[in-house]
């Protein structure tokens, strides 16, 4: 018989999922000056820093 999850464990999972929603995977296409081919740089950043990542800061 399986043990029921405690109330505290459920609250921790909700907090963790709420925190995870603040992060975004950003993919930026970068063109090579030599060949003209595109490469992609991807990173997981906080949703407030997406514009800074895309600006190259």
The pTM assigned to this predicted structure is: 0.61
pLDDT at position 32:
92
Residue that is written with structure tokens 């030599």 in the block: 34
What is the rounded average pLDDT for all residues in the chain?
Answer: 83
Q: How far does the chain reach from its first CA to its final CA, in angstroms?
A: 54
User: Residues 18-42: pLDDT tens digits?
Assistant: 778 899 999 999 999 999 999 999 9
Residues with Cβ within 8 Å of residue 26, at least 6 apart in sequence: 42, 43, 44, 45, 50, 53, 54
**The two three-digit tokens of residue 35, written as one number:** 């060949």
Between 17 and 45, the higher pLDDT residue: 45
């Amino acid at each position: 018989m399986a043990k029921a999850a405690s109330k505290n464990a459920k609250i921790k999972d909700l907090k963790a999922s709420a925190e995870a929603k603040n992060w975004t995977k950003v993919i930026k296409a970068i063109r090579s000056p030599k060949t003209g081919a595109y490469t992609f740089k991807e990173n997981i950043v906080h949703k407030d820093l997406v514009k800074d990542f895309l600006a190259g800061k």
